[in-house]
């Protein structure tokens, strides 16, 4: 008889979003579960661990495991896994909740949790502050608080925490106007269409929406991001015909998800490996409604930039330094003229811009390997270009009041001569 897996819920959200408040509410009503908690704090003192113990009136603090001086999405990943394994082996708990630091990216943590032998990731819950989203995405004019993190990093984290979750909780709804809140919802719909959204004011969320939901599936969550869905739909600008990514990543395993490198913002010319997770998108062939191609009443729009010519590395790097501020998210495939055999992933979150290898184009593979790939994937033959094969630039662009022609023209100016 197979051993029962211990379910886990990952709680992510930027600083001050309300994660600890939500955690306390869950712990005061565990619905029959014996819940162990892992709390990550980047400082030397784990303040959240004490707040949870006090707020949930927990006297036996052995159920709370603090992880300090690092982030569980990078430096403390192995320590996180070991602590979870120890909790499971103890047999004292039948559910584990992990509260990530406010500056953690959810995807690499989820990847690590997927490797836990006797555990199963049940739910990834993103908690966002409605007022913060208004400031970042709906034209608010409040200045950022004095955090130990740059503005562009905050934007990037917010985008990633919205995109990669199975449940999204919009907290502090009472602090924003109805019209601003509608704008925020439109941005969320563009970034993660169809995600389960719970609106609340004080972290009041039914425990059943957090624990034992069975709602998390890595591939499903990843491919449900707005940029990925739009790339699948493939409706490119300026009458470009429908295309799909199908480059051949023979250098990496399909489920190798790596964290983003924050040291390479504004520099897509850096050859950083670690963005090859994006080949997932073309493996999911779902039917999608083709909507949102034009702006809505709040100016939130999406379009696909698609070209069959490569970028000039220097020109693109120069344009990255003046990237349009109203583009909230851009992600997709590209190639460079000086490295035609390699596919790259290009992505922006707010003003943070990154690029990295994603694998080799099918057209760059040896002829016998090409034949095998094309035989196994006949749809590629229908999309094959006589000159460049499967090479392409294909970017999903999401933003507010986008000037589609101006952006396309600017990107065209970065193409190789």
216-223: average pLDDT: 94
- The domain of 378 spans 300-414
Sorting pLDDT into bands at 50, 70 and 90, what band is 395?
very high
The greatest distance separating any two alpha carbons of the chain, rounded to the nearest whole angstrom, comes to 70
Please say which residue of 177, 204, 225 terminates a domain: 225
> Do β-strands 95-99 and 119-129 pair in parallel, antiparallel, or remain unpaired?
unpaired
pLDDT for the residue 21: 87
Answer whether residue 281 is part of any domain. Answer: no
Sorting pLDDT into bands at 50, 70 and 90, what band is 116?
very high
- CATH code: domain of residue 48: 3.40.50.300
Please say which residue of 225, 251, 276 terminates a domain: 225
Domain count, the chain: 2
Both structure tokens of 88: 């499971």
* Alpha-helix runs per DSSP H in 3-76: 19-27, 47-55
Answer whether residue 112 is part of any domain. Answer: yes
Answer whether residue 320 is part of any domain. Answer: yes
One domain for residues 305 and 206: no
Q: What global pTM score does this model have?
A: 0.69
> Residue 292: helix, strand or coil by DSSP?
coil
Both structure tokens of 351: 């003003």
pLDDT for the residue 151: 53
Both structure tokens of 166: 């199975």
- Cα of first residue to Cα of last residue in the chain, in angstroms, is 64
Answer whether residue 255 is part of any domain. Answer: no
pLDDT tens for 51-60 read: 555 554 555 5
Please say which residue of 200, 225, 250 terminates a domain: 225
């Amino acid at each position: 008889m197979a051993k029962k897996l211990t379910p886990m819920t990952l709680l992510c959200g930027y600083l001050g979003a309300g994660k600890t408040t939500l955690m306390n509410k869950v712990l005061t009503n565990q619905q029959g579960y014996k819940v162990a908690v892992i709390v990550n704090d980047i400082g030397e003192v784990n303040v959240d661990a004490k707040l949870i113990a006090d707020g949930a009136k927990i006297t036996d603090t052995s159920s709370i495991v603090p992880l300090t001086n690092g982030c569980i999405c990078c430096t403390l990943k192995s320590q996180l896994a070991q602590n979870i394994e120890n909790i499971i082996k103890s047999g004292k708990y039948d559910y584990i909740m992990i509260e990530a630091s406010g500056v953690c990216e959810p995807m690499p943590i989820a990847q690590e949790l997927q490797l836990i032998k006797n555990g199963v990731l049940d739910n990834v819950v993103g908690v966002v502050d409605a007022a913060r989203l208004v400031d970042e995405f709906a034209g608010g004019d409040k200045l950022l608080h004095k955090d130990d993190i740059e503005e562009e990093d905050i934007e990037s984290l917010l985008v990633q925490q919205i995109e990669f979750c199975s449940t999204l909780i919009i907290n502090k709804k009472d602090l924003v106007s109805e019209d601003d809140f509608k704008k925020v919802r439109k941005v969320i719909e563009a970034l993660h269409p169809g995600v389960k959204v719970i609106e609340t004011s004080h972290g009041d969320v039914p425990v059943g929406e957090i624990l034992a939901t069975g709602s998390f599936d890595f591939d499903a969550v990843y491919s449900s991001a707005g940029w990925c869905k739009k790339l699948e739909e493939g409706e490119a600008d300026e009458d470009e015909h429908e295309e799909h990514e199908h480059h051949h990543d023979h250098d990496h395993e399909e489920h190798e998800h790596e964290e983003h490198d924050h040291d390479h913002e504004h520099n897509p010319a850096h050859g950083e490996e670690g963005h090859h997770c994006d080949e997932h998108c073309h493996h999911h062939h779902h039917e999608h409604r083709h909507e949102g191609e034009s702006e809505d009443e709040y100016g939130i729009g999406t379009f696909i930039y698609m070209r069959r010519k490569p970028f000039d590395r220097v020109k693109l790097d120069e344009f990255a330094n003046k990237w349009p501020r109203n583009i909230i998210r851009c992600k997709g495939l590209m190639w460079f003229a000086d490295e035609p055999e390699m596919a790259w992933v290009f992505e922006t979150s707010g003003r943070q811009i990154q690029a990295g290898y994603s694998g080799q184009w099918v057209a760059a593979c040896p002829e016998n390997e090409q034949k095998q790939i094309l035989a196994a994937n006949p749809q590629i033959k229908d999309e094959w270009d006589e000159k460049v094969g499967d090479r392409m630039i294909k970017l999903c662009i999401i933003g507010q009041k986008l000037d589609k022609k101006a952006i396309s023209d600017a990107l065209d100016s970065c193409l190789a001569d």
